[in-house]
Structure 1
Amino acid sequence: MAVVALAGGLGAPGVTTTAMALLLTWPLEAGHKIVLAECDPDGGAILPGALQGTMANSHGLRNLALAGRQGQLGEAFWRQLVDVTDAGSRDRLVLPGLYDPAHASSLGPVWEQLANLFTGIEQYQHDVIVDLGRRGAVGPSSVLAQRADVVLMVTRNSLRGLQSAQVRLAALRDQLGGAAQIGLVLVEGGPFGRDEIQRTLQAEVVAVLPWQPEQAAVLSDGAEQPRRFEQGELMRAARTSTTRLRQMIATRRSRLGQPAAGGREASGAR
């Protein structure tokens, strides 16, 4: 089981779109589930985007603030998850993010509790993808990146995107100190190739996602799926990246030793 955190740089490099693609393509064995936790302190995009506002603001990260102060986050967390499967199987779930960035100030104690929960959630056969947006990998929510198995920097392969990624990668390396593996997800939109970027930024390119606006709009805005969406180039690239991500996680855990599953914040899981 795994915790994968995604972060971005300047502009809109596609962090949430990438996170949604991973959520929908992550391989699941029988009885396993995956959760996408939208933990961007600047506010969430999934409720008004991929979910088309169908849940209003009744579910999500903001509702965990009070539960966290009362020591009940472990139970409240599961009630905030939204099933994104057509069949209602509840094996691919989303914790919607904040609908108002002003609410981030109330989440100070919650980030650490969420990090503890995610660390122990594997005993319930869950994987977690954490969407940290542009700012979430620094500041109070950075504990989510520090506890992850892999942190992915999502960037466009343009000069502007890569300059931003270079600065943020340096800050991540200082902050994480080897606690998590760091990789890159490139969203095509510039002239620079995979090998050149790996040499320059000294980070592995885990995935290259094609520039496919029609397919990306399904994940970012809940647009109608084009024909053969799941077999399209974007979803194929995301599906391929999950294989490499799982290899990176296995390598890290083999090197460090498998963390003990558990933690009181995970209580109440179902």
Structure 2
Amino acid sequence: MRKVVALGAFKGAPGVTTLAMALASAWPAEGSEGGVRPVVVEADMAGGDLAARFGLSDMEGLLALAAGGHRDGQDDELGGCVQEVAGGLRVVVAPTGGDQALASVGEVVARPSVLRGGGDSEGMVLLDLGRLGARPSRELARGADRLVLVSRGSVEALAHVAARGEWLDGASYELVVVGVCRFSEAEIAAALEMSPERVRKVPWDVRAAAALGGAGQVGRRRWVRSPLTQAASALAHHLDGGGGRGGQGGARGLGSELAQLRARALPGAVRARLGAPRALSSGGGAQ
């Protein structure tokens, strides 16, 4: 069966879809079972962007998958809903409309096997969940083999990660901080009470991001040297099982801005004793 890596954010638009596309482009060939390229499945309940970006039909993607339809007589439901974009990236696009997208995601939650396929299905699904704002997306996140939380690097954005809800208790996840961030990975990990090897910073590159969104082209040399694609390659190898990184030291001390996040990252047992009203008032409730 296919493996599933889910990506999502708690607030805003930190670049979840672009990161999923970057990972797909950088996924190690030796890590793809049978040489099968990863599939980016857009499952954002607010509606998808890839169909409009690449001029694709949103009737042949997640909507068809949720309805049990597939093209070209293929037995594999997911494979029958894949479309290719520039660069050979394989995508299953979500409906643009929010109502259709929400219904489609709900159907996939009810039949998660459509993502993994049967025993002879190979490859990796990169599941773009957009904002983790409601039960269907959170169920898909919890059911994935790996979960990647995506955030910007400001204190405000990291506060939403710190206030992660009880639905994540016991789950294993990575945090990817996209774009400018003046804090180190070790400082972020200490503030959020995470293992340092589970926090990664991914620099932003406007030109590379535009190319991944179908809005431009980047020469091979620029592509290879892009900090975004280099970081995506390292993250892809890590998620594929390449292990963590060495040399991650602990933070010597936390500034007041990050130190305040500790109070929001309360252990589940403490939240249970506080009760829902007090947890919500302190920022520790579900988003």
On whether the aligned pair clears a TM of 0.5, the verdict is: yes
Compute the displacement of 1:80 (Å): 1.5
Identity of aligned residues (%): 33
> CA 1:153–1:172 in structure 2 vs 1: closer, same or farther (change >3 Å)?
farther
Does structure 2 retain, via aligned residues, the 8 Å contact 1:150–1:248?
no
Q: Distance in 2 between matches of 1:126 and 1:195?
A: 32
Matching residue of 1:243: 237
Compute the displacement of 1:57 (Å): 3.2
Equivalent in 181, 186, 210 of residue 177 of structure 2: 186
Compute the displacement of 1:237 (Å): 0.8
Matching residue of 2:99: 102
Unaligned runs of 5+ in 1: 251-270
- CA displacement 1:163-199 (0-9 Å, x = unmatched): 112223x44423xx33xx2011111223222110011
Matching residue of 1:233: 227
Q: Distance in 1 between matches of 2:233 and 2:119?
A: 21
Does structure 2 retain, via aligned residues, the 8 Å contact 1:121–1:127?
no
Matching residue of 1:123: 120
What one-letter code is carried by the residue in structure 1 that aligns with 2:138? S
Q: Distance in 2 between matches of 1:150 and 1:209?
A: 18
Matching residue of 1:173: 168
Compute the displacement of 1:206 (Å): 4.6
Q: Equivalences for 1:1-270 in 2 at 5 Å?
A: 2-29=3-30, 30-49=34-53, 51=54, 53=55, 55-67=56-68, 75-84=76-85, 86=87, 92-107=89-104, 108-113=106-111, 115-120=112-117, 123-135=120-132, 138-168=134-164, 170-174=165-169, 177-178=170-171, 181-203=172-194, 204-226=197-219, 228-231=221-224, 232-247=226-241
Larger Rg: 2
Does structure 1 retain, via aligned residues, the 8 Å contact 2:39–2:91?
yes
- CA displacement 1:18-64 (0-9 Å, x = unmatched): 10000100012353231111001011111222x2x1x2434211223
Compute the displacement of 1:84 (Å): 3.1
- CA displacement 1:226-254 (0-9 Å, x = unmatched): 5624302111110011222122789xxxx
> CA 1:243–1:77 in structure 2 vs 1: closer, same or farther (change >3 Å)?
closer
Q: Distance in 2 between matches of 1:146 and 1:212?
A: 30
Q: Distance in 2 between matches of 1:129 and 1:195?
A: 26
Q: Distance in 1 between matches of 2:202 and 2:66?
A: 35
Count of aligned pairs between the two proteins: 233
TM-score, length-normalised on structure 1? Answer: 0.76
Q: Distance in 2 between matches of 1:193 and 1:126?
A: 33
Compute the displacement of 1:109 (Å): 2.9
Q: Distance in 2 between matches of 1:73 and 1:110?
A: 19
Does structure 2 retain, via aligned residues, the 8 Å contact 1:33–1:125?
no
